[in-house]
Amino acid sequence: MDFDLTEEQRLLKDSIDGLLTDSYDFESRKKYMKEKGGWSRAVWGKLAEQGLLGLPFSEADGGFGGGGVETMIVMEALGKALVLEPYLATVVIGGGFLRHAGSDAQKAAHVPGIVDGSKTLAFAQLEKNSRYDLFDVATTAKKKGDGWVIDGEKFVVLNGENADTLVVTARTKGNRRDTSGIGVFLVPANAKGVTRKSYPTQDGLHAADITFTGVEVGADAAIGNPEDSLALIERVVDEARVALCAEAVGLMDESLKTTVEYIKTRKQFGVAIGSFQSLQHRASDMFVATEQARSMSMFATMASDFEDAKERSNAIAAAKAQIGKSLKFVGQQSIQLHGGIGMTMEAKIGHYFKRLTMIENTFGDTDYHQRRVADSGGLI
Amino acid sequence: MDLAFTKEEQAFREEVRSFFRDNVPPDTRRKLVEGRHLSKDEMVTWWRILNKKGWGVSHWPKQYGGTGWTSVQHYIFNEELQSYPAPQPLAFGVSMVGPVIYTFGNEEQKKKYLPRIANVDDWWCQGFSEPGSGSDLASLKTKAERKGDKWIINGQKTWTTLAQHADMIFCLCRTDASAKKQMGISFIVFSMKSKGVTVRPIQTIDGGHEVNEVFFDDVEVPVENLIGEENKGWDYAKFLLGNERTGIARVGVSKERLRRIRDLAGKVESSGKPIIQDAAFREKLAACEIELKALELTQLRVVADEGKHGKGKPNPASSVLKIKGSEIQQTTTELLMEVIGPFAAPYDVHGDDGSNEAMDWTAQIAPSYFNNRKVSIYGGSNEIQRNIIAKAVLGL
């Protein structure tokens, strides 16, 4: 049992923290937001240069062979700096599908572009009525010759506007809520029949609603078994949840730090408001919530390697549920302790709150995951 | 980072577990499961079994009878002990006064007291809180005046846990009234059988008798019963309170209770089916288990940190363990109340005297719920813990 980072992991942490300290202060972030697509190609290039975009891929595939802990380190740092760039969509999720189930040809076609920063991906999964159920898929992929024809609508696809390749879940047989008959397809974003409607999200990212109308792809578009890929989707989304947990911990760390600094300097009644016990206790509770979240983020990270899929997803569900509670508390109280200034777009704290809030509603909220743990027979 | 325990650690867990299985008297275990109080004999019997095995004072230095275990081994031992469950060693002797004596006491005191603590030849109690000195402990007034080769002690202590069984007390006494309040306190130990010591029971809301008031009326104590230096008692008290860190989360206790809740919830019916089939109840139970898992991990982080970097200064993380640990313990007792519903009401007039073994298994659930309100109050209330975090961690 060991919670320390290895020497190499510490170096990784120092290097990404250093990079973001130099290039990602709050003012720079505002500028990046205004760039095309809402994030900075220059920063993305720097992440590539430091090898961070290739981190989880095996060396044979042109990556650096990083594991869950390495991704946790990166996501925490990205959270701390409130980074806009599509690391989750491209490296964690898109890369996850390629790592777990990509054929050699698929990996050769997509991994180098991810690693060198020239290509980004997006995960087109959410549907109008699917909410958090990954098996709830109405989009269809019908066989045509050797290939497939995809029809359906996907919503709130993060980085959907900019991605070069879309990773699309689609049903190859059965009914909307069947757990079998689901495939995963790599679809070029500029394929005929793909229509994208883009918009900014509440937390400053960009997403798109995407319609697929008779989109034809080849047989080589399917990742894994096109008729039975739910387990693959669950595995990759579990990894995305773990990554979101780590990002949330970074966000909470920074929220708490910013809030404590604020109440140490803001004066009312002639004293720093941080001298008031009611505020001190609130801040202490934020610390407790953040530490509990950090523990669960570590737990989830280590659980990603559990052999038993049920045990793995139960542990990750527990983490997402706990972190959902912690982030809501830390986010809301950060605004409360900032007072009026916390309500303004100008102060950075509100932007942390908004990102935290959106994480709660991504890939299952607290209620959803708590129910999963409850229905699986618990954790003890 | 690695969550897994080593093979050696797993083997150790098995060794500890099988020792408990073979040696904890079954009736003692049953009473703990049901939330009943144990008699003095039952506790002492078990502690002597533990001490004979060499595990009575496991965390003490080896030369005083400790085991030399790693932090992780201590963690495993405590977790197994709490979740079996078996009675925990008497904290007042083993975790509190023992370490003060072997750290600050002289050779004579070590020889005289330590083996007797280990074998519970003396039952120790703690003389800290006073009617006017709870959270503000340093305001205490109990006075020790030097007269020749004796201390003359006058005053009153309260919340003195299990003082009715005690042979010895370690007591914070004011020895210099003119000094700043933390500075004039000394750490003195003496026999509860001394002339002038009166113990009066306090009945708590669960109907039990765990705590007492203790009065000192011109109690004469030999001067050599001062531990360490005169007027340095506050330092020793802080040392003592900071010593107990990871055990305070009581993760094993909550785990055991959650297993019991799950077991009972599979039997007790609500709306014509076992209450475990009620989604709302099940989710509440899951929420508690999830928070406990987070606490367990937080505790392991502290344990691993101690193992690597030594115990050093008191770790403010222990305040997190105290706050969350007590909240979760209280939640588990609430869930038990919820499971048994209207059968929480009957009061077992026979109490803990063992004469009513047939009494319904629900009899102790409400008392245990009432009793567990104490866990967020004792050992530095949760509000005091928040003060500690605000000061020591956040710099407020």
Nearest to A295 among B258, B294, B395 (CB): B294
Alpha-carbon distance of B391 to A275, in angstroms, equals 10
User: pLDDT by residue (tens digit) across A7-37?
Assistant: 999 999 999 999 999 999 999 999 999 998 8
Residues ≥6 apart with Cβ < 8 Å to B294: A292, A293, A295, A296, A299, A322, B324
Distance in angstroms (rounded) separating the CA atoms of residues A148 and A142: 5
φ, ψ for residue A116 (rounded to 5)? -85, 0
* B96-133 pLDDT per residue, tens: 999 999 999 999 999 999 999 999 999 999 999 999 99
Cα A79 from Cα B17, distance rounded (Å) = 42
For residue B21, what pLDDT is reported? 97
Q: Is B180 exposed, middle or buried (0-12, 13-18, 19+ CB in 10 A)?
A: exposed
Check residue B353 and give its pLDDT: 53
Cis-peptide, bond into residue B85, ω within 30° of zero: yes
Interface test with A, best of B10, B75, B297 (most A CBs within 10 A): B297
Minimum CA–CA partner of B71 in chain A = A1
Residues in A touching B291 (Cβ below 8 Å):
292, 322
Eight-state DSSP code of residue B6: P
Please indicate whether, in this complex, the C-beta atoms of B390 and A4 are within 8 angstroms of each other.
Answer: no
Kindly state whether A283 is in contact with chain B, defined as any CB-CB distance less than 8 angstroms: yes
> DSSP states of B142-196 as a string?
-EEEEETTEEEEEEEE-S-TTGGG-SEEEEEEES-TTS-TTTTEEEEEEETTSTT
Low-confidence ranges of chain B (pLDDT < 50): 358
Residues of chain A contacting residue B303, judged by C-beta atoms under 8 Å apart = 1
> Average pLDDT in the A255-280 region?
98
Check if the beta carbon of residue B278 is closer than 8 Å to that of residue B285: no
Instruction: Please check whether residue A98 is in contact with residue A56, taking contact to mean a CB–CB distance below 8 angstroms.
Output: no
CB contact A302 to B (< 8 Å): yes
Task: Specify the pLDDT at position B245.
Answer: 60
Q: CB-CB: which of B308, B319, B324 is closest to A292?
A: B324
Please give the span between the terminal C-alpha atoms of chain B, in angstroms, as a whole number.
32
How do B226-227 and B185-191 pair as beta strands? antiparallel
The whole-angstrom distance between B296's CA and the closest CA on chain A is 9
For residue A2, name the pLDDT band (cuts at 50, 70, 90). Answer: confident
Handedness of CA A285, A290, A295, A297 (dihedral sign): positive
Instruction: Choose the catalytic residue: B34, B145, B220, B244.
Output: B244
How far apart CA A106 and CA A307 sit, in angstroms, is 25
Q: What is the pLDDT of residue B4?
A: 83
Residue B100: beta bridge partners? none
Q: What is the pLDDT, as a whole number, of residue B2?
A: 82
Contact B202, B251 (CB under 8 A): no
Q: Does A242 touch chain B (CB under 8 A)?
A: no
Does residue B139 sit in helix, strand or coil?
Answer: helix
Report the C-alpha gap between B314 and B306 in whole angstroms. 10
* Interchain CB contact of A153 with B (< 8 Å): no
What's the predicted TM-score (pTM) here?
Answer: 0.94
First to last CA, chain A: 19
In the annotation, is B244 catalytic? yes
d(CA A201, CA A155): 12
Residue of A nearest to B396 (CA): A274
For the record, the structure tokens of B210 come out as 């765990």
Between CA B222 and CA A152 the distance in angstroms is: 89
CA distance A296 to chain B (A): 5
Torsion angle (degrees, nearest 10) of CA B361, B362, B364, B366: 170
Half-sphere exposure of B114 (CA within 13 A, CB side): 22
Give dist(CA B270, CA B151) in Å, integer: 62
The token pair at B5 is 């325990």
CB within 8 Å: A293 and B294: yes
> Residue A306 above 90 pLDDT?
no
Q: Considering only CB atoms, which chain A residues are within 8 Å of B386?
A: 280-281, 284-285
Is A322–B293 a contact, with Cβ atoms under 8 angstroms apart? yes
Chain B residues in contact with A2 by the CB 8 A cut-off are 1-2, 304
Neighbour tally for B21: CB within 10 Å: 11
Cβ separation of A3 and B390 shorter than 8 Å?
no
Summarised one tens digit per residue, pLDDT across range B40-82 is 999 999 999 999 999 999 999 999 999 999 988 999 999 999 9
Contact B290 A283 (CB under 8 A): no
Cross-chain Cβ contact A370/B305 below 8 Å: no
User: Which three-class secondary structure state does DSSP give residue B273?
Assistant: strand
Mean pLDDT of chain A: 97
Eight-class DSSP state of B389: I
